[in-house]
Structure 1
Amino acid sequence: MARSPKDPKTFLPEITKDFREAFGNGLISLILYGSAAGPDYDPGRSDVNLMVVLRPEAMGRLDEAFGLIRKWRRKGCAVPLFLTESYIAGSLDVFPIEYLNFKSRYVMVYGKDVLRGLELKPALLRLQCEREIKGKLLLIREGFVESDGKRGHLESLIAGSIGALTAIFRALAVLKGLEMSGSRRALFAEISRDFDLGGDVFDRLLDVRDKRIKLTQAEMLALFKQYLAEMEKLSDVVDAMGG
């Protein structure tokens, strides 16, 4: 995929024109979501994510958009997320974290704001948080064992886990009634304080991900072991929130 644009919002008028031409009255909404819609956007790293909401009859014509998708991928956009309104209504109980994150970082590009007014049940949000934390813990533990302790491998594991961790932390902030801080770093600090997570572990993980620090082999190994320990602690706390 091409390098992400410096400012994805400059593409929006042309993107809107292309999708309206492709789907006509079948296009309900175009929404820019994720880091490209917020303060954490990094042209060298962030994806440009679009949500395309179509009428059911237009969903059967996705093949007509092959060239359109190819064009925008060359310009640095990810493959869009194609949804219908009925799919959104029927999946709120299954993907509450995903919809919460859509709502927390989005810009309306065209049409109906299908995200406004979505109600997410706290019990289902907590349950998915628990499931995601425990699943993430299994994955990073497996990756740690496979890494043979190599610094580069551990750096990649950290960088690859930050996105999912951010989504989980935003959901936890909502459950605890905390401020949904504008930046990822402020959010991580808030969750670390409120859930009594150890020291500056998550801040240092962000430093590794953002290449602000260069750790020795021993330092990286120690940090990753702390990461595993704090994720285990968080797993237990969120489990206890469910009674």
Structure 2
Amino acid sequence: MTPDKLVEELTKAGSGSLKSVVLYGSAAAGDHAGKNSDYNVLVIAEELGVETLNAFSKTATAWAKAGNPAPLLFTQERLKQATDVFPIELLDIRECHKILYGDDVVSDLEIGTENLRLQIEHELRGSLIKLRQAYLLTGGKSKAVADLMVESLSTFLVLFRASLRLFADEIPQKKFQALEKLGAHLSFDPSVFQTVQQLKDGTKKAKSCDVETLFNTYLTTIECVIDAVDAEIHKGVKS
């Protein structure tokens, strides 16, 4: 299902409740990798009670079966109220989006960044904990470990791009450009993530890599970023 088809189906199902559909993420940033990427959409409705959710359910299920995350649902008022809680996501959406239907409800969002550092660290630490938990279940098998890195890559690239906001004013839209810039600020080698991306897009095979060493480097580089974010938080507290 394409984004245009999604809009068509949501419009039919929405019975006047649908106010806006916003494409964000890699597709909006020009960073979409075809079949290896998904589409992220924000849906704004007049209200989001059970009746509206039921109306959107069939379309959302087909969208998810096509390999995409379920639409992110908000009313316009609750979107405004969420700007201090989800600064990572909403800053990214505000800066890079495409309106597929209705009004542009994100360009003028006032997003407080007072919680940005804590959200970045919370998300990074939580994702690292989940990564280690998932590794325990791989039994150290190379294919399973490679798949684990591939599956987690997008999450960490998004969080690294958010982390760059703590060290630079201008943030590249494309995730690997942001990664390179973050690496320059924090003095780490981003090549491990480029290798995982090659595994993801099929230009490199797991059996051609030392997967255990790759995973160890993946872990330690993530820890490097977390430590730098943590130091930035404490620096901010002291000042």
Residue of structure 1 aligned with 2:200, choices 186, 209, 213: 209
Q: Does residue 118 of structure 2 align to residue 127 of structure 1?
A: yes
Question: Aligned partners of 1:131, 1:184: CA distance in 2, in Å?
Answer: 20
Report what 1:47 is aligned to: 38
Q: Does residue 186 of structure 2 align to residue 195 of structure 1?
A: yes
Question: Aligned partners of 1:170, 1:93: CA distance in 2, in Å?
Answer: 18
Give the residue type in structure 1 aligned to 2:44: V
Give the residue type in structure 1 aligned to 2:132: R
Instruction: Give 1:67 shift.
Output: 3.9
Question: Aligned partners of 1:143, 1:75: CA distance in 2, in Å?
Answer: 25
| Most deviating of 73-82 and 204-213 | 73-82
Question: How many percent of aligned residue pairs carry the same amino acid?
Answer: 27
SS of residue in 2 equivalent to 1:127 = helix
Structure 2 CA distance for partners of 1:38 and 1:82, relative to 1, 3 Å: same
Alignment deviations for residues 159-189 of structure 1 (CA, whole Å, 9 cap, x no partner): 1111211221221222322543243322221
Give the residue type in structure 2 aligned to 1:96: P
Structure 2 CA distance for partners of 1:28 and 1:232, relative to 1, 3 Å: same
Alignment deviations for residues 28-59 of structure 1 (CA, whole Å, 9 cap, x no partner): 21112222323222331222232210112777
SS of residue in 1 equivalent to 2:115 = helix
Q: How many residues align?
A: 234
Residue of structure 1 aligned with 2:80, choices 82, 89, 95: 89
- 5+ unaligned residues in a row in structure 2: which ranges? 235-239
Report what 1:113 is aligned to: 104
Q: Does residue 19 of structure 2 align to residue 28 of structure 1?
A: yes
- 5+ unaligned residues in a row in structure 1: which ranges? none
Structure 2 CA distance for partners of 1:163 and 1:76, relative to 1, 3 Å: closer
TM-score scaled by structure 2?
0.84
Instruction: Give 1:217 shift.
Output: 7.8
Structure 2 CA distance for partners of 1:57 and 1:195, relative to 1, 3 Å: closer
Alignment deviations for residues 89-130 of structure 1 (CA, whole Å, 9 cap, x no partner): 222222211212322432101222111122333331111111
Structure 2 CA distance for partners of 1:95 and 1:144, relative to 1, 3 Å: same
TM-score scaled by structure 1?
0.83
Give the residue type in structure 2 aligned to 1:150: K
Cα RMSD for the two superposed structures:
2.6
Question: Aligned partners of 1:174, 1:217: CA distance in 2, in Å?
Answer: 35
Give the residue type in structure 1 aligned to 2:136: V
